[in-house]
């Protein structure tokens, strides 16, 4: 017997008894009786609601979503967002279906954020920097949409590697942080950020859920290949995939490259500025388009937009071909927009060029180069600045035989990047500042991102050496919660503080970061006095160290050979 039937049975029994009552008692009885009926009604509604809820069919689609979302960092958001989708039971029958639907829902959320950003642009109280930050965000949103839509395409094409898919979704997560970071420079900007936070946080978490499910799928299914290391051969100290013929190797090593166009400041080429040459380059090119930049100082802001793919800059030498600018945060730029050169198109290459920001230490964040194009590589290039010299923002990148100079966080961002045989030099900062080589910005433990420094030299410039040890310098500090940096097989000079690594703010990220050191040499490589954070480790296993080499960490076996630059895939 149900609770409702039991209640009414009790009333019938009681009502059927002959109980003499006075008029006053009758009133009390009716009052009690109707009160009881009201309570019974409430109980009945509650039971009906419960029965109704219990009777909602928990279909196979529900079960698939539940299982798929169990691997997500935000499983309740994952399940509720998909379960609320009209007709989702007809759209979901597999783990891959759940990911695809989640990505589509996330795309709509990004589009809603775009509407909010455009409304904010109409505010009359915006500072110059806030206006710039909103413009940055709208550009970044375009990339997020590209990444999420591309992820859906990759998801349904088994010829793509799992790392391609993970890279796209990882970059979409980072995009949300990059947008919000543009409003972190002063209180007025932070007020604008408050109006954006919830929407971007929702997209970040939805993207995070999709990434976690992708990680789970690619670890357990064969539908997307993980990419295998190709056999390689050593020749003249350069590692080549076995399938590249000797004659082709000689061609790739050649010091000259046939140029499609020439930039020369003296007017002897096709263009006098780098920006003009980029603007004239074809869009979505599947073949390499080479822009030769002759010796000279090019004072301009250069952007290689996302639609300009497979472009290559070739200079006459890093000491003679220089692209320079001085945009900076103090004068109103955001960190993102302060870059002298910004690379947004995939497949970008550069050789024998200096990228410079001359704003100086008093102007704080001032980027020489921002890179976000996937599969970008740089050979024999210089990157000169002070705070935030080189912004390796998203996607997979490779730097070989390059020089990077700076002070605070002078290599920073959230790409998957490897530096090989590079010279990393700390400069003399402002009084009271500490030098920090890296500030890595991973925000999600599933992101395939991090900074790897392999077979490099970490030392001081002459100006810092002259300071006679009065400035503290560190290998890195955690910009974001899951910051990841690995330094291996490198020479570390005595400029590095024995503690090695610097906290960002109190105990923030000290347990969640991953900082590793493997077989480094030099007076600064002694790990006996390193910090005792839970996230720091001295790597002793060669097999673990191999996961951070170009062959594994940036899928180097699939694309580095096409650059024509020297590289080593392993240890």
State the catalytic residue, choosing from 163, 189, 346, 409: 409
Where does the pLDDT of residue 225 fall: very low under 50, low under 70, confident under 90, or very high at 90 and above?
A: very low
pLDDT at 339 over 60: yes
Beta-sheet strands, E only, within 60-187: none
Active site residue 388: yes
d(CA 486, CA 498): 17
Report which of residues 219 and 278 the model is more confident about.
Answer: 278
pLDDT of residue 256: 56
Report which of residues 422 and 255 the model is more confident about.
Answer: 422
| Alpha carbon distance, N-terminus to C-terminus of the chain | 74
pLDDT in tens, 246-263: 444 444 444 456 899 999
Strand partners, 516: 486, 537
pLDDT of residue 30: 53
Active site residue 409: yes
pLDDT in tens, 164-182: 999 999 999 999 999 999 9
- DSSP element (H, E) containing 54: helix 23-54
pLDDT in tens, 132-168: 999 999 999 999 999 999 999 998 887 778 899 999 9
- DSSP element (H, E) containing 390: strand 390-392
Q: Are 291 and 327 in contact (CB under 8 A)?
A: no
pLDDT of residue 266: 95
* Pick from 393, 346, 77: nearest CA to 210: 77
Where does the pLDDT of residue 32 fall: very low under 50, low under 70, confident under 90, or very high at 90 and above?
A: low
The DSSP letter of residue 562 is G
pLDDT of residue 270: 97
The DSSP letter of residue 21 is -
Residues sharing a CB contact under 8 Å with residue 69, sequence separation 6 or more, in sequence order: 75, 78, 79, 82, 98, 209, 213
pLDDT at 24 over 70: no
pLDDT in tens, 440-456: 999 999 999 999 999 99
pLDDT of residue 422: 98
Neighbours of 413 (CB within 10 A): 28
d(CA 571, CA 556): 13
pLDDT in tens, 360-399: 999 999 999 999 999 999 999 999 999 999 999 999 999 9
State the catalytic residue, choosing from 374, 388, 423, 494: 388
Q: What is the pTM of this model?
A: 0.85
Where does the pLDDT of residue 420 fall: very low under 50, low under 70, confident under 90, or very high at 90 and above?
A: very high
Where does the pLDDT of residue 484 fall: very low under 50, low under 70, confident under 90, or very high at 90 and above?
A: very high
């Amino acid at each position: 017997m149900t609770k409702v039937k039991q209640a009414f049975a009790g009333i019938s029994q009681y009502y059927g008894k002959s109980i003499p009552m006075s008029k006053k008692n009758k009133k009390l009885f009716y009052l009690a009786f109707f009160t009881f009926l009201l309570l019974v009604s409430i109980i009945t509604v509650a039971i009906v609601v419960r029965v109704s809820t219990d009777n909602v069919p928990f279909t196979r689609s529900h079960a698939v979503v539940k299982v798929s979302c169990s691997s997500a960092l935000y499983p309740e958001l994952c399940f509720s967002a998909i379960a609320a989708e009209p007709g989702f039971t007809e759209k979901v029958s597999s783990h891959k279906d759940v990911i695809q639907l989640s990505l589509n829902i996330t795309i709509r959320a990004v589009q809603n954020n775009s509407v909010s950003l455009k409304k904010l642009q109409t505010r009359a109280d915006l500072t110059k920097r806030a206006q710039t930050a909103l413009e940055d965000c709208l550009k970044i949103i375009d990339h997020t949409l590209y990444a999420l839509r591309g992820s859906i395409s990759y998801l349904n094409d088994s010829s793509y590697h799992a790392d391609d898919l993970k890279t796209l979704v990882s970059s979409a997560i980072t995009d949300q942080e990059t947008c919000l970071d543009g409003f972190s420079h002063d209180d007025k900007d932070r007020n604008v950020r408050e109006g954006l936070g919830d929407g971007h946080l929702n997209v970040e978490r939805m993207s995070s859920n999709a990434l976690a499910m992708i990680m789970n799928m690619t670890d357990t299914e064969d539908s997307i290949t993980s990419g295998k290391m190709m056999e390689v051969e050593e020749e003249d100290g350069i590692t080549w995939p076995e399938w590249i013929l000797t004659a082709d190797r000689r061609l790739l090593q050649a010091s000259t490259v046939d140029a499609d166009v020439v930039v020369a400041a003296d007017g002897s080429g096709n263009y006098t500025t780098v920006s003009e040459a980029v603007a004239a380059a074809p869009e979505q090119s599947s073949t390499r388009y080479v822009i030769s930049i002759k010796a000279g100082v090019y004072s301009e802001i250069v952007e290689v937009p996302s639609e300009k793919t497979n472009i290559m800059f070739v200079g006459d030498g890093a000491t003679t071909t220089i692209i320079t600018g001085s945009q900076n945060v103090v004068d109103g730029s955001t960190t993102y927009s302060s870059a002298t050169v910004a690379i947004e198109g995939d497949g970008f290459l550069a050789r024998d060029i200096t990228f410079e920001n001359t704003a100086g230490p008093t102007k704080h964040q001032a980027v020489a180069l921002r890179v976000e194009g996937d599969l970008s590589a740089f050979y024999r290039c210089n990157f000169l600045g002070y705070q935030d010299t080189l912004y390796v923002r998203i996607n997979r990148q490779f730097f070989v035989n390059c020089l990077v100079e700076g002070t605070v966080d002078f290599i920073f961002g959230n790409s998957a990047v490897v530096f090989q045989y590079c010279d990393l030099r700390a400069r003399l900062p402002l009084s009271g500042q500490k030098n920090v080589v890296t500030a890595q910005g991973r925000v999600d433990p599933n992101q395939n991102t991090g900074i790897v420094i392999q077979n490099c030299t970490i030392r001081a410039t002459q100006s810092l050496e002259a300071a006679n040890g009065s400035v503290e310098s560190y290998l890195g500090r955690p910009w974001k919660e899951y910051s990841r940096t690995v330094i291996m097989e490198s020479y570390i000079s005595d400029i590095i503080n024995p503690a090695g690594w610097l906290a960002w703010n109190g105990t923030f990220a000290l347990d969640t970061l991953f900082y590793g050191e493997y077989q480094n040499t030099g007076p600064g490589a002694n790990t006996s006095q390193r910090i005792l954070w839970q996230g720091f480790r001295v790597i002793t296993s060669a097999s673990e160290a191999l996961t951070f080499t170009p062959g594994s960490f940036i899928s180097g076996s699939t694309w580095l050979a096409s650059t024509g630059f020297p590289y080593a895939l392993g240890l």
